[in-house]
Structure 1
């Protein structure tokens, strides 16, 4: 079990410490008190409705003053010292989650305006949180121990459940930006969680497709479950399979490096995973990140995006948790930039084939400490994965945890 301690920062923002399982680190009011003299929290920015696309756009001009790549001795998410009173008012921690001091959304909560049109604005309701993976300033998620990775998974699940229950929240999105090429503003290993007051454009498109498939199947199958079966039957783009998770490069991958990690049963979000599934997720996720970094001599920049079912009565029944891990790196010394076709039209052009990328990811050597158990080996590219019927154990369609 992970011990969780809740406290507040000096300006009233929530901070939670998630201790590793088995940790005996003492926590007291004094060791979690923030002694800084912080100004009061500002009012939220605003959201504006784009009538041309039917999408909401957050306007957060106050983020122009946020911390940007500070030196290590001024890092705001390292443990607090006398010389650096940081956002983590403790001399040490395992994993910490706190409300962002410069949020795109929030801190106020509520719904977006009904029946919007041109000129419609509203407060940028919602919540933005920072998830620090380690007290160490250097390193990355792939370098975490399996115990620590499991603590992060527990933090994601805990916050997903808590944020989904807040007034007006429609979607909860845990993610990590890794690497200067992606645009990180802090080098310290960390991720974020956004809780939106609307369903985001990408989630809305995916949710509509998933709901149509679900309805056409009479509520007995999901779109993501069907795609997982198809990828496993084909086998050429599979990277690994384990008891509870499967990973593959999708048939129509947009990015030079793109991996989808999918539970073998339908669950709407991270909070719905069982303890056994969370244990295995920590193991498999570390394996995938190490494979990504083993492709080139230097670490690979990436975006790790957890797609969870929206908090929406129409879209949620067809929703299916999955990770989309993407990188713009198309060669050791080249990045893919989104230019005219992709940025303006959303029409992606991939510079490699998903089958080749999957073959490379299968072939890399992963340190034994995180290699997948031999009982569930990475798939041999010459041997297609066995087909799974909709009712096969571990691929439960229509089951809503």
Structure 2
């Protein structure tokens, strides 16, 4: 993999990732951009113990542009985008409208491919591996930045999720604090260790492997299953079979096998509701250990993939119980979801 670091016209960082070592990335951003002016304020919720980011400058961010004005496509005659090159493999740049900025962290955009009409599921295994390498490199680099506590790589796909740019892309957030969901998992893992002497993540994976009814895919280095208490209609957790705290520690055999496993999961998601349905909206989220704390080796890095679509033409909305109380109600039994995900396997 070749990594080329450059800057955009307003001083933001842009990084190209190429599979070929002889790739040349020397295009210059010619846009007359003003310096980025953004500020984020982190406020503490005393009742819940959560941190909330206030980022008012994001009100003016790009919203559903037409395809011929997509800011994530390569630049060409008539279009000066965030990517000055006329083509690219994987590109990462600082978000122009970040939720986290300055001392409050950093937000990056990850463009998976230059093809506007593609999706992650359309990538080749080699392309998917390059994205994995980019996620890993960004995790490693952001981990060294002062004040960064946790790195979160994720993809939102589909208008139903709230995506405002149709180009296949994801994001990376470098948080200056441990996110509430991760903090809760750490507490539960510590309690489990005290009570049983065992690792919580290992026990969860082993229970699913032994039960088997909710396992969707299993290979030598990965296992994917619908969790016993799934929150979402179709939700899959993907774990490496050897527990690691973050992407930096993932070994080469697991890295090599990841593209085939992950691409198959995404393609099954797109087949869940039949060919007449639009592509399945989803969130794919890497859960990595925070960078501080003696217990970080206890954390089991994994990817959580889920959709808000519960049936053909029907969405699961976060209604009063979920949004108001954080109490989830799931219409699809996890065992039925796992069975359906096995039924739509690639032939």
Q: Normalised by the shorter chain, which TM-score bucket? A: over 0.9
2:172 to 190, 193, 196: 193
User: Is the alpha carbon distance of 1:43 and 1:300 closer, same or farther for their aligned partners in structure 2, counting shifts above 3 Å?
Assistant: closer
Secondary structure of 1:227's aligned partner: helix
Provide the residue aligned with 1:6 in structure 2.
5
CA distance in 1, matches of 2:340, 2:320: 29
CA distance in 1, matches of 2:287, 2:11: 29
Task: Give matches, 1:265-344, under 5 Å.
Answer: 265-296=242-273, 297=275, 298=277, 299-344=279-324
1:246 to 223, 228, 253: 223
Structure 2 unaligned segments of length 5 or more: list them.
none
Larger fraction in helix:
2
Provide the residue aligned with 1:370 in structure 2.
none
TM (norm. structure 2) is: 0.96
Aligned residue-pair number: 344
Q: Give the drift of 1:43.
A: 3.9
Provide the residue aligned with 2:14 in structure 1.
15
User: Would you say the 8 A contact 1:164–1:311 is kept in 2?
Assistant: yes
Task: Give matches, 1:165-244, under 5 Å.
Answer: 165-218=144-197, 221-244=198-221
Provide the residue aligned with 1:154 in structure 2.
133
Q: Give the drift of 1:84.
A: 0.9
Secondary structure of 2:160's aligned partner: coil
Q: Give the drift of 1:23.
A: 6.4
Q: Give the drift of 1:212.
A: 2.2
Q: Deviations over 1:342-378 (max 9, x none)?
A: 11111111101100110111111315xxxxxxxxxxx
Provide the residue aligned with 1:138 in structure 2.
117
User: Would you say the 8 A contact 1:208–1:315 is kept in 2?
Assistant: no
User: Would you say the 8 A contact 2:38–2:97 is kept in 1?
Assistant: no
TM (norm. structure 1) is: 0.83
CA distance in 2, matches of 1:35, 1:211: 52
CA distance in 1, matches of 2:345, 2:145: 43
Q: Give the drift of 1:24.
A: 4.4
User: Would you say the 8 A contact 2:264–2:345 is kept in 1?
Assistant: no
Q: Deviations over 1:241-270 (max 9, x none)?
A: 111000000000010010000010110111
Provide the residue aligned with 1:371 in structure 2.
none
Provide the residue aligned with 1:346 in structure 2.
326
Secondary structure of 1:181's aligned partner: helix
Provide the residue aligned with 1:395 in structure 2.
none
1:255 to 224, 229, 232: 232
Q: Give the drift of 1:48.
A: 1.1
CA distance in 1, matches of 2:48, 2:35: 36
CA distance in 2, matches of 1:354, 1:46: 39
User: Would you say the 8 A contact 1:309–1:315 is kept in 2?
Assistant: no
User: Is the alpha carbon distance of 1:334 and 1:23 closer, same or farther for their aligned partners in structure 2, counting shifts above 3 Å?
Assistant: farther
